[in-house]
Structure formats: structure tokens, C-alpha cells
Amino acid sequence: MDKKISKAQIRSAVEEAYAECKDITGGHNADYIPFLANINPNLFGLSVTLLDGTTVNVGDTEYKFGIESVSKVLTAILVLRQYGAEAVLKQIGADATGLPFNSIFAILLEKDHPSTPLVNAGAITACSMVEPKGDSWGKWEAIINNFTALCGSPAQVIDELYKSESDTNFNNRSIAWLLKTYNRIYDDVPMSLDLYTRQCSVGITASQLSICAATIANKGLNPVTKEQVFDAVLAPKITTLISTVGFYQTTGDWLYTSGIPAKSGVGGGVLGVLPGVMGISAFAPPLDEAGNSVKAQAAIKAVMKKLELGVFNGDRVTIID
């Protein structure tokens, strides 16, 4: 079915969703990373970017929060750019684990590959793959420049968060060394883990994340800067990864109830991609049991419902002025 939605409808849907979800309670800030425990739990932002570059931002959309696991999407794109879809499938994988993001059990179960670049194991492997190999600074430049291109503006590490994560990432150290025993770390192990920790500690805004989401929805063409950041053939690959594991063990429930592939991070951010239509992001620190922001989930679901959109709805959507 052809479906036309006006920009005014989108603006109202975002504003209403924000107002309806603003006072939702429940959930807790992540506290296994001490820095995150102290972020104001009332912060809340909701942002949509359309494929012509139009943006709708409501609430705390310029607050810089820890990107955390949403960074996995951006670096998965980088290794897809550097190696192509086939090599990423071979060297990392594209399967949902059905288990928490930091699961060691998942690695033991699938020791032939780290499952997907969107859980901790696969993301550490992805950092190990980033070119130029063996050059920590060069690799970091590649990672952060890719962030800038996808988000349309620069982002920096929050030093305090980086220190907090580095001091407490014992589980991730186990993951990295376990992967090494399966020959799934393709560079120096401590360097690969450090790059992963650093990318998780980048401060990002909801408005930057929605531009990144829109770049994916727009087949790699950043709708704000007009830069073709990655080859269009990679867009369905990255959206597949997001669809299958973006919310870890609750991904199926999420996709079933929201209708939009999305990726969360324990900093409270969520990035959602509706291919050919828009990018959306929301940010609010309190998380549910699986580590996904309670308010961000509610807000994105509300926007989708109000606009009657869904990736599997079978509609041809046109946005009109």
C-alpha cells in the first residue's frame, strides 16, 4: 500500500511521544560501570532524522552520553567498509546469540565464530580487524573518523567514562582472551580490547545518533552532510545485524512489538533504522533487566504506533512536506 506521511505529522508524533513517555518510571542506570550509575536518570531526548536531512529533536538531544553498545553498529560498518560483507560473515558471523551482550557462554557454544559484531565478543573481534593492523593510533583514527562521518559531526571520548570502564572491564578481558584461544582476535589482544573500551566511552548526542540511523536508512548517504559514507550494498547487511540482535535476548520481543530494527547501549541510548524512511534515536539512562533503556523503548514504540509504521508492514512510505 502507498502511504503518505507529512513532516507535520512526524513532528507531532515525536512531540506527543516525548510528552507521553517523559514521566515513565522504572529501570535503573547501569551500575557495573561506576560512571554510568551517576548520570541524571531524568535526562530524556528523542530525535528523528528524515532522508532529506530534516530533523526533529525534542528534550535532551544535545546531551553527550556514553554511546556504549551502540558503537558496535558504527564499527561493524567500518569493518564492512574495509573487508566487505562476506569476510565479516566469515570472520565474525551474523547470528543472534539469544544471550546477554557480555555472555561468555555464547562464545563457548559457538566457538567457531563470535556470532555477531553487535555483542561484546564480536565487537572486540571487529576492533581487532580494523585496519591499519598493529597501529593502535591509526586504528583509533579509523574508528573515530567513521563515527564522525556517520553522525555528521565529531565525537570525543568521555575521559572519566573511559577510565571507569577500563578499571572495571574484567568480564570483557575474559572474553578477549577466550576469543584469542579460538583464533578470533586478529590483532594484539590488549590493543583490541582497549579500542573496544574506548569506542564504548565516546560521548554522543541523541541528535547525532539519529543522523547515523538515517545514514543507514538512506543506504549509506548521510542526509545532513550529503557524504556517501558506505556502499549502498552494505545497508541491508547492517540493518540485518541490528534486527537480529540489537536488544540481545529480548530482540524478538522488541521487533515484534515496535516494528523497527534498533540497537541499544547501556548508556541509555537507542538507535532505530527504518530503511528508506527515517532514522530515530532516543536516550534515557534507566535500563530494563536486559540493559535496554526503558523510556527510549517506550518513546520509539510510541512514534512508530502513532505513524502506523513498521519495517514489515509492506507499505511504500513517502514523506511529504
Residue with cell 565474525: 92
Of 68 and 194, nearer to ligand GLN (C-beta) is 68
Q: Interface with ligand GLN includes 307 (CB under 6 A)?
A: no
Shortest Å, Cβ 172 to ligand GLN: 5
Query: Distance of CA 8 to CAs 242, 284, 320, Å?
Result: 28, 25, 9
Shortest Å, Cβ 68 to ligand GLN: 3
Shortest Å, Cβ 11 to ligand GLN: 30
Q: Where are the beta strands (DSSP E) in 84-241?
A: 203-204
Say which amino acid occupies 63: Y
Q: Interface with ligand GLN includes 291 (CB under 6 A)?
A: yes
Per CB under 6 A, the list member of 101, 147, 230, 247 interacting with ligand GLN is 101
Per CB under 6 A, the list member of 29, 69, 116, 239 interacting with ligand GLN is 69
Q: Interface with ligand GLN includes 102 (CB under 6 A)?
A: yes
Per CB under 6 A, the list member of 266, 278, 300, 302 interacting with ligand GLN is 266
Which residues lie below 8 Å from residue 171, measured CB to CB, with a gap of 6+? 102, 104, 120
**Residue with smallest beta-carbon separation from ligand GLN:** 69
Residue with cell 556502499: 231
The per-residue b/e assignment along 128-145, b for 16 or more CB within 10 angstroms, e otherwise, is: bbbeeeeebeebbebbbe
How many residues at the interface with ligand GLN, by CB under 6 A? 11
Q: Interface with ligand GLN includes 172 (CB under 6 A)?
A: yes
Shortest Å, Cβ 312 to ligand GLN: 25
Q: Where are the beta strands (DSSP E) in the chain?
A: 2-6, 45-50, 55-59, 65-66, 203-204, 262-264, 269-274, 278-283, 316-320
Of 75 and 102, nearer to ligand GLN (C-beta) is 102
Neighbours of 108 (CB within 10 A): 10
The per-residue b/e assignment along 149-182, b for 16 or more CB within 10 angstroms, e otherwise, is: bbbbeebebbeebbebbeeebeebeebbebbeeb
Scanning residues 7 to 66, which ones bind ligand GLN (CB under 6 A)? none
Of 74 and 266, nearer to ligand GLN (C-beta) is 266
Scanning residues 198 to 237, which ones bind ligand GLN (CB under 6 A)? 200
What residues make contact with ligand GLN under the rule CB under 6 A? 68-69, 101-102, 120, 165, 172, 200, 265-266, 291
